[in-house]
């Protein structure tokens, strides 16, 4: 009988073999179906990840004198770096079937380094627009500065993110939500982003100070924190409690700028890493879409619509939850495999018996609809 040590070593060896085997990107084919061509492509990407990466298995074994049991956990999760459509066709029922050749990897660092891979992910997420609002305190110059925000804007623009023009943001100065967002209010930040048509907003604070003088050089010090907020729901996507920078220079002001650039670069890298992990997980599994249904006449209609969603009449719905009903406005949360516009498209093509509705809007992962006579 295998000893506990032997069994654990077998499990570790297998895991290392799988990890080394997939350390490099693999090119595989994936096939998907959907109401739209884009929906079919997204399903094909998930299929390619599952085919290419397989199930990464870690085994934790417990052995006693009379029993032998394995607790096996499998996970199919990875990243599509690039892909191309190999074949596509639309059936008589209107459904699309698409086959792609995709380059997949389970290495996050590859996606961080590969511009094409990051663009593939951003395209899959409908290219979310991003805003930066960083309140900066400069204790070296004792004047208002925006070095951290400038660095982050430049960094994300160079990485291929769709960044909202800073002037549009600053035009809102004096608005209550603007000041509250700078103070760290998540709800106010989400409102600012929505007002400017952005899906994501980064809020935070930066502090620039001197660490003292050494041999005629000033030690510039900078500390920055940040929260990444979804505009449509107010959900906090990622948090960076602190990013630090330290740079010496003969000029105190330059030392402060250089330290801030270093701290902002560290913050930006951490933000991008967390967003890639978050969005890739959504692409590999499902996203949360929020449906706001207006003109709901009564409680039974509220429940009927939830049952309609749960019945998975619309392809891609995994589950649905009724969240609230107030003054004829109902809210639902849907777990969906695909993009929010694919769900909106599916909803616009069908209705539950006895309850007619139409889709009236789409913003990020928020779909609005109303019941009609």
Domain spans in the chain, listed from the N-terminal domain onward: 4-124, 129-284, 287-371
Rounded Cα distance between 349 and 370, Å, is 14
Helices (H), 141-213: 147-158, 166-170, 176-182, 186-195
Q: What is the mean pLDDT of residues 342-348?
A: 88
Q: How confident is the model at residue 338 (pLDDT cuts 50, 70, 90)?
A: confident
3-state secondary structure of 250: coil
Least-confidence region, from 52-56, 84-88, 121-125, 296-300: 52-56
Q: How confident is the model at residue 52 (pLDDT cuts 50, 70, 90)?
A: low
In this predicted structure, the answer to whether residue 8 has a pLDDT above a threshold of 80 is: no
- For the ranges 8-12, 46-50, 92-96, the maximum mean pLDDT occurs at 92-96
Q: How confident is the model at residue 25 (pLDDT cuts 50, 70, 90)?
A: low
Q: Which residue has the tokens 């002037």?
A: 167
The pLDDT, as a whole number, for residue 139 is 94
Q: How confident is the model at residue 1 (pLDDT cuts 50, 70, 90)?
A: very low
In this predicted structure, the answer to whether residue 214 has a pLDDT above a threshold of 90 is: no
- Summarised one tens digit per residue, pLDDT across range 28-51 is 788 888 777 887 887 788 777 767
Other C-beta atoms closer than 10 Å to the C-beta of 303 total 13
Which residue did the predictor score with more confidence, 118 or 172?
172
In this predicted structure, the answer to whether residue 281 has a pLDDT above a threshold of 80 is: no
The pLDDT, as a whole number, for residue 14 is 37
Least-confidence region, from 73-77, 184-188, 281-285, 341-345: 73-77
Q: Kind of pairing, strands 79-90 and 26-34?
A: unpaired
Least-confidence region, from 57-61, 177-181, 253-257, 299-303: 57-61
Q: What is the mean pLDDT of the chain?
A: 80
In this predicted structure, the answer to whether residue 184 has a pLDDT above a threshold of 50 is: yes
For the 287-371 domain, the top CATH level (class) is alpha beta
For the chain, give the percent of residues with pLDDT over 70.
Answer: 81
* pTM, full prediction: 0.61
Q: What is the mean pLDDT of residues 162-174?
A: 92
Q: How confident is the model at residue 244 (pLDDT cuts 50, 70, 90)?
A: very high
* Cα four-point dihedral sign 304, 305, 310, 312: positive
Q: What is the mean pLDDT of residues 307-334?
A: 89
For the chain, give the percent of residues with pLDDT over 90.
Answer: 43
Q: How confident is the model at residue 155 (pLDDT cuts 50, 70, 90)?
A: very high
Least-confidence region, from 46-55, 63-72, 170-179, 191-200: 63-72
State the virtual CA torsion across 350, 352, 357, 363 in degrees, nearest 10: -60
Spatial CA neighbour of 130 closest among 151, 153, 114: 153
- Summarised one tens digit per residue, pLDDT across range 95-117 is 788 998 888 766 555 566 667 77
Least-confidence region, from 60-74, 153-167, 234-248, 281-295: 60-74
The pLDDT, as a whole number, for residue 296 is 94
In this predicted structure, the answer to whether residue 120 has a pLDDT above a threshold of 80 is: no
Rounded Cα distance between 366 and 344, Å, is 9
The pLDDT, as a whole number, for residue 62 is 38
In this predicted structure, the answer to whether residue 53 has a pLDDT above a threshold of 60 is: no
The pLDDT, as a whole number, for residue 79 is 66
In this predicted structure, the answer to whether residue 265 has a pLDDT above a threshold of 90 is: yes
Q: What is the mean pLDDT of residues 283-308?
A: 88
For the 129-284 domain, the top CATH level (class) is alpha beta
Residue 200: φ, ψ to 5°: -135, 140
Rounded Cα distance between 227 and 218, Å, is 30
Q: What is the mean pLDDT of residues 164-180?
A: 91
């Amino acid at each position: 009988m295998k000893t506990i040590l032997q069994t654990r070593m077998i499990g570790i060896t297998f895991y290392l073999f799988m990890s080394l085997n997939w350390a490099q990107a693999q090119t595989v084919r994936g096939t998907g179906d959907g109401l739209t061509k884009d929906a079919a492509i997204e399903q094909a990407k998930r299929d390619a990840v599952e085919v290419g990466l397989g199930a990464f298995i870690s085994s934790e074994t417990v052995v006693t004198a009379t029993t032998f049991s394995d607790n096996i956990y499998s996970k199919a999760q990875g990243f599509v770096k690039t892909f191309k459509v190999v074949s596509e066709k639309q059936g008589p029922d209107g459904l699309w079937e698409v086959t792609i050749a995709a380059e997949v990897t389970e290495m996050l660092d590859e996606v961080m380094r590969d511009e094409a891979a990051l663009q593939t992910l951003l395209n899959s997420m409908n290219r979310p627009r991003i805003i930066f609002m960083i309140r900066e305190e400069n204790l070296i110059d004792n004047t208002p500065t925006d070095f951290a925000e400038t660095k982050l804007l430049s960094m994300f623009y160079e990485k291929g993110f769709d960044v909202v023009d800073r002037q549009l943001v600053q035009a809102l100065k004096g608005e209550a939500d603007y000041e509250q967002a700078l103070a760290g209010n998540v709800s106010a930040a989400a409102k600012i982003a929505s007002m400017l048509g952005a899906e994501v907003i980064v809020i935070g604070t930066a502090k620039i100070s001197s660490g003292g003088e050494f041999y005629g050089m000033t030690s510039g010090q900078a500390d920055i924190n940040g929260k990444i907020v979804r505009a449509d729901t107010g959900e906090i996507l990622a948090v960076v409690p602190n990013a630090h920078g330290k740079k010496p220079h003969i000029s105190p002001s330059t030392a402060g700028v250089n330290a801030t650039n270093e701290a902002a670069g560290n913050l930006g890298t951490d933000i991008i890493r967390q967003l890639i992990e978050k969005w890739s997980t959504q692409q590999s599994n499902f996203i949360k879409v929020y449906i706001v249904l207006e003109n709901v006449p009564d409680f039974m209609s509220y429940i009927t619509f939830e049952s309609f969603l749960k019945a998975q009449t619309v392809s891609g719905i995994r589950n649905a939850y009724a969240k609230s009903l107030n003054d004829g406005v109902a809210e639902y949360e849907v777990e969906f495999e695909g993009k929010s516009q694919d769900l909106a498209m599916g909803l616009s093509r069908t209705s539950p018996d006895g309850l007619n509705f139409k889709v009236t809007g789409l913003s990020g992962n928020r779909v609005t609809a109303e019941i009609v006579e």
